[in-house]
Chains A and B, each alone.
Chain A
Amino acid sequence: MRKLISPDDLGRDDRFERTEMMDRVSDPRNAADDSGRSRPGKLTPERADAPDAARALMHGIFVGEIQALEGAGRTCYDFEVGKGKLDDDEVPFELKLDMARQCWDEARHCEISVKLSDWMGTEIGEFGESAFLFQAACNPDPVLRLTGVNRALEGLAIDVFNTMREFGDLAGDPVLEFCEDWMLADEVTHVKMGSDWLRRMTANDPDRQEKALEFQRVVDKLFSLGGFRGEEDDSPVRLARRFRELAGFDDTEMNDIAELSREARGEVEERGRQARETASQN
């Protein structure tokens, strides 16, 4: 069996359609004007498109769970058991145990997500699948991989699950609210695992720690999805500070993520403006 497989090699049946994140961020419609008219706004039941927006977000969670399962599974397999020093491809056995436990959680989340999709009237593969989550799980350094996936990516999962949990609460949907609340609890654990392994594996290696944190910043910015996740009034997904705190983030780190989200939003708007100008010239 091969190690370090590419996102293109992930197994999917013909219900799934892969989408590229660049197509989304360079969509000229994103910057149609400066009035904010093209931004969907915070996900609340009051939004006219709320049920369909919730379905789309839930499908994004579903494919994210599949990729999180695949990523944690690859981390169990891609590295040998050892001390986990920088120049080898070894990780402590206990890290593999954590990843195995995470696989169990993610598999359960996949099943919950499928049932939630049925509940909400969504078909598997109804929306496009972006593989950016698994792409972060392809880093050959296990510390960078865990930092990118478990801290940045699972951190995003905390924000998304919390948003969906609040949506279910406000809409009076007991099924959605319960499912999201339970999955949210697991995500806090996954992020905590990332925080703990980052600290333990880089305790005597500040360079490696800085590289891992830099990788996390890159992933956090990408996962802000052009401000889709952020702290602006109209951000559809809000930064869940309380749950992130439980998972090992301090205020400085959370402020950094909020700032990265603002930067990402500005960059996407600028890219959209440029694409729009190009389109109007053609």
Chain B
Amino acid sequence: MAVTVEPSAFSMVDYDAAEISALVDELAGSLGLGDHDIRIEVDETSPLGRNWLETLDPIHIHVESGALEDPKRIRRFSRLGATDVLGRHLLRAKDRFDPDFGDAPTDADLSSAHRTAWDVYTVGRLVRAGFPANRQRWLYAFRNRHGFTDAADDTFETLWLSDGLTWSRVAELSDAAAATNPGKLDRKPA
């Protein structure tokens, strides 16, 4: 397996390609992807945090620099944030390699609700693999996409605690929760 990080030297942000590579190496080993080539492409010209999986062979993850940035220190690398973003993509890649998981849409074709549901399923497993995450942050993200309801919270719990789900089950859970979403508040002034 080989991990490559592009660019190899950064000029706009204070990131170290070797540190990113070592983190990806650790994540891949822990998540059972040790035999795959992995390419991390960092767009350091953007401070935003968009990120996506470009290809599966090699596993090619594209991130804007904000995705790996320390929210306390501008233009500095965050190991915690990078673990979250890259760990999710690696686990999603692992799901996509698994024939039992089924065919999920490409990252570009995922709806916000389905993406978030898959994220929750992924981060729950990352936590059980020993990587820290803020559960409430993900509950809030899930509620934003599926509604601030008890039904959405129950679905979140199911996704967070599950292993071995298929894509169709993830999508089904997401769709069922979203169907109970009351949507816009439209509260009238008292």
> Which residues of A are interface residues toward B (Cβ below 8 A)?
17, 19, 23-24, 27-30, 32-33, 37-38, 40, 45-46, 48-52, 54-56, 118-123, 125-128, 168-175, 177, 276, 279-280, 282
Contacts and interface: CB of A to CB of B under 8 A. Distances in A.
18 contacts: A17-B72, A19-B73, A24-B74, A27-B47, A29-B12, A29-B45, A29-B47, A29-B65, A33-B45, A37-B48, A48-B50, A56-B71, A120-B137, A168-B185, A172-B183, A173-B144, A173-B148, A276-B12
Contact of A38 (B11, B48, B135): B48
Given A125-B72, A170-B184, A49 B148 contact: no
B112 A48 contact: yes
Contact of B134 (A123, A168, A177): A123
B139 interface: yes
Most buried by B among A29, A276, A279: A29
Nearest to A168: B185
What size tier do the contact residues of chain B reach? 35 or more
Most buried by B among A30, A170, A175: A170
Interface of B: 11-13, 44-50, 65, 71-75, 112, 115, 134-141, 143-144, 147-148, 181-187
B136 A45 contact: no
Contact of A128 (B47, B72, B140, B187): B72
Given A38-B48, A280-B11, A126 B143 contact: no
B139 A121 contact: yes
A176 to B, nearest CB: 9
A51 B47 contact: no
B71 A128 contact: yes
A121 B182 CA distance: 22
Given A126-B72, A169-B187, A121 B137 contact: yes
Closest 8 CB pairs of A and B: A121-B137, A121-B136, A32-B45, A17-B72, A51-B141, A29-B47, A127-B71, A128-B72
Nearest to B136: A121
Contact of B74 (A23, A48, A51, A175): A23
Contacts of B71: 56, 126-128
A38 B46 contact: yes
B185 A51 contact: no
A24 B75 CA distance: 9
A38 B140 contact: no
Contacts of A279: 11-12
A50 B65 CA distance: 17
Nearest to B67: A49
Contact of A55 (B137, B143, B186): B137
Given A29-B45, A173-B144, 12 more contacts: A38-B45, A38-B46, A49-B48, A51-B144, A121-B138, A127-B71, A128-B72, A172-B147, A173-B148, A177-B187, A276-B12, A280-B11
B136 A118 contact: yes
B189 to A, nearest CB: 9
Contact of B75 (A27, A119, A125, A126): A27
A107 B187 CA distance: 26
A29 B182 contact: no
A54 B144 CA distance: 11
A238 B121 CA distance: 35
Contacts of B138: 121
Nearest to A127: B71
Contact of B46 (A32, A46, A128): A32
Nearest to B45: A32
